[in-house]
Amino acid sequence: MSELDVQRQIREIRRELDQLRSVQYPVRQTKIIAVNGVEFPTVQVPSANAYTLDDYRELTWMSSLLFGGAAVGMAYVTRVGTYTKIGNVVILEGRIVLSAKGTSVGIATITGLIYAATLSPAGIADTPTGMAGISHQVCLVMAGSTLYFVQQTAIARASLTEANFTNTSDIRWGLTYRV
């Protein structure tokens, strides 16, 4: 191959590269490459565009179990919760382990939720241990920013109360809902 042939090939390759550089790609093929992650502002800046992700949060919270709205004498070994909020969807996980259920009576609820639901979503509690009178799957129903533990049977739904908990109850749950 002569020097002239080499020069001709180099010019042809440069011409092809210039053509590739000038191609206009549609916006929908744009990729975001984030070396250190995508950063969202601390205060959400809402967007009316349905294709814009305008909020992301990862939070922890300390859940509170109440019986009839109170927790007299209740003590915990563990009470933790995590949230992941992506746009208008919240993924909630939590766990409570009791060392003393206390003397309060009434329907069992979890309070202290950061984001209230727009509808009434339902979730599943992992197989709870240290419970009394549980014969079916324990579910969660959310109203506003309160979770209610219920037992769903084939014909009815019954709220859990202090009678279903013991001094060693261990219950975990997960729920995904819209805000």
What is the per-residue pLDDT across 88-121, written as a single tens digit (0 to 9) for each? 889 999 999 999 999 999 999 998 788 888 877 7
Asked if the structure places residue 2 within a domain, the reply is: no
- Residue type at 93? E
Residue range(s) defining the domain that contains residue 106: 56-178
Asked if the structure places residue 99 within a domain, the reply is: yes
Asked if the structure places residue 160 within a domain, the reply is: yes
CA 163 to CA 167: how far, in whole Å?
11
Asked if the structure places residue 26 within a domain, the reply is: no
Asked if the structure places residue 151 within a domain, the reply is: yes
Read off the pTM.
0.72
8 A C-beta contact, residue 82 and residue 115:
no
- Between these two residues, 34 and 75, which has the higher pLDDT value? 75
Asked if the structure places residue 133 within a domain, the reply is: yes
| Lowest-pLDDT range of 34-43, 72-81, 118-127 | 34-43
Asked if the structure places residue 10 within a domain, the reply is: no
Count of structural domains within the chain: 1
State residue 24's pLDDT score. Answer: 59
Asked if the structure places residue 39 within a domain, the reply is: no
What burial letters (b/e) apply to 61-81, b meaning 16+ CB within 10 Å?
eebbbbbeeebeebebeebeb
Residue 31 — pLDDT band, cuts 50, 70, 90? Answer: low
